[in-house]
A and B are shown apart, each in its own frame.
Chain A
Amino acid sequence: MPQEIIEVPITGKILSVNVKPGDKVKEGDILCILESMKMENPILAPVDGTISQVVVNADQVVSPGETIATIEH
């Protein structure tokens, strides 16, 4: 199954993680909320699929390029 790896786009802090492994997601669903530049930014699923892995936790500080989650589609 093809995989899509969702990466952190910008330095910030994960406020909440909205999915867990095994969840089915649709394109545009919110995977997690990333706080950056004093703004809450949702990170969205780019494809329909199933979450196979979630790497980040709430309150974690993340840098660009780190993996947030993997979606199988």
Chain B
Amino acid sequence: MFGLFESGFASFTWGNGVMLVIGGLLLYLGIVKKMEPLLLVPIGFGVLLINLPLGGLMETIVEGNVVEAYAIGGEPAGLLSRIFYYGLVWEIVPCLIFLGLGAMTDFGPVIANPKTLILGAGAQFGVYAAFFIALAIGFNINEAASIGIIGGADGPTTIFLTNRLAPTLIGATAVSAYTYMAMVPIIQPPIIKALTTKEERAMYMKPQLRPVSKLEKVLFPIIGAIIIILLVPKSAPLIGMFTLGNLLKESGVTDRLANTAANALIDILTILLGIAVGAFMSAASFLRAETLMIFGLGIAAFAASTFFGVILAKLMNLFLKEKINPMIGAAGVSAVPMAARVVQRMGQKANPRNFLLMHAMGPNIAGVIGTATAAGIFLGMLG
């Protein structure tokens, strides 16, 4: 009747309690453990907000009735359901984040050593491995594709694809992708260690890559966009924005735009994305067996991507004259720059002379392109 009498306590469920703990855990990981704080803090807080009943943040109007939880097909009526709908369902936020990522990315290592593009493709095997496992345990084909793409460890791409193919899963796949991206430094090292000997990890690679000219750097996003989008048309929203962002950076005449895209714009989008993803994790939509399975499959996808990346690098060494340190294959998952940094740290630990960062950046950036392309292929087949 009056707002005064409408306290949330009576509507608070045990599920809300569980979600508050999960939200608190995400905040803890972000603030105390400093794992991807820029993402986990807004996501964690979004989870808190949405699990305090009657706030109306995710309200949707369905056939004239106000529904408290987000309802697909309804008209958004709350602060966060509007952000979620116009930002994520309309696919604006993930694609514009790719614009910012493009403006931050230096394609130099890929141009200097194009072999590393193959490693970026290799890691996508994990995407397909998880796709088939998800199919086998009973997810439908669209859901399986959305789960498999988590293996690419690329949040915006995961959201983009899930929204198109299996929108009910978006909370679970997005949080799973971002959690695993944040956990790259924990998940990858044991897998890399199991697949390589100490000698392999200590393998020295010369730090100097060949210098890359400005002309090459300007042409790369232009030619890259033309080739990739002609090959996989459905990758156009992600790859188009990514390459445009990179052209803004490399053209030398649009520094202001590149700066905004790489800093202010991506910060704003990260806030919107984080809180909207968190807001999708209400007790009702998140505490389901399906969500747990998606988390399980997500980590399997991610582990498999790491596995195939390293194996492919070892295979390439059978044919290469100048051997590569097989660990850089693990950077083929697209968690930029965390995966490259893991390789850098492990390489330096095995051999203090080693500095693999720029060698690992090549597969890492190729991984971003690879995952966006894999998403495009799924969309082309299923969308």
- Is B207 in contact with A39, judged by CB distance below 8 angstroms? no
Interface size class, chain B: 10 to 19
Q: Would B341 and A39 count as touching, CB distance under 8 A? A: yes
Cβ contacts A1-30/B at 8 Å (1 or 0 each): 000000101100000000000000001100
Q: Cβ of B302: which chain A residues have Cβ within 8 Å of it?
A: none
Nearest A-chain residue to B336, judged by Cβ: A37
Whether B207 contacts A9 by the Cβ 8 Å rule is yes
Instruction: Indicate whether B323 reaches chain A with its CB closer than 8 angstroms.
Output: no
Chain A proximity mask over B348-379: 1 for CB below 8 Å, otherwise 0: 11001101011001000000000000000000
Interface centre among B207, B341, B349, B352 (most CB of A within 10 A): B352
Interface residues of A (CB under 8 A from B): 7, 9-10, 27-28, 36-39, 41-46, 64-65
Task: Report if B213 contacts A (CB, 8 A).
Answer: no
- Known: A10-B207, A38-B337, A39-B337. Is A45-B357 also a contact (CB below 8 A)? no
CA distance A42 to B106 in the complex (A): 21
Q: Are A41 and B207 in contact (CB under 8 A)?
A: no
Given A37-B361, A39-B337, A64-B207, the answer on whether A10 and B352 have CB atoms closer than 8 Å is: no
CB distance from A73 to the nearest CB of B (A): 13
Contacts of B341 in A (CB 8 A): 39
CB-based contact B357/A10 at 8 Å:
yes
A7 to B353, CA, bound (A): 10
Q: Is the CB of B355 within 8 A of A28?
A: no
Question: Which residues from A are CB-within-8-Å of B65?
Answer: none
Interface string of B23-44 (1 = CB under 8 A from A): 0000000000000000000000
Whether A27 touches B352, Cβ cut-off 8 Å, given contacts A64-B207, A64-B208, is: yes
CB-defined A-B contacts under 8 Å, sample of 8: A7-B207, A28-B352, A37-B106, A37-B357, A39-B341, A41-B355, A41-B357, A65-B208
Q: Is B358 a contact partner of A42 (Cβ separation < 8 A)?
A: no
B179 contact set on A, CB distance < 8 A? none
Q: Are B352 and A44 touching (Cβ within 8 A)?
A: yes
Q: How far is the CB of B126 from chain A (nearest CB, A)?
A: 24
When the two chains form their complex, are residues B352 and A37 in contact, meaning their CB atoms are under 8 A apart? Answer: no
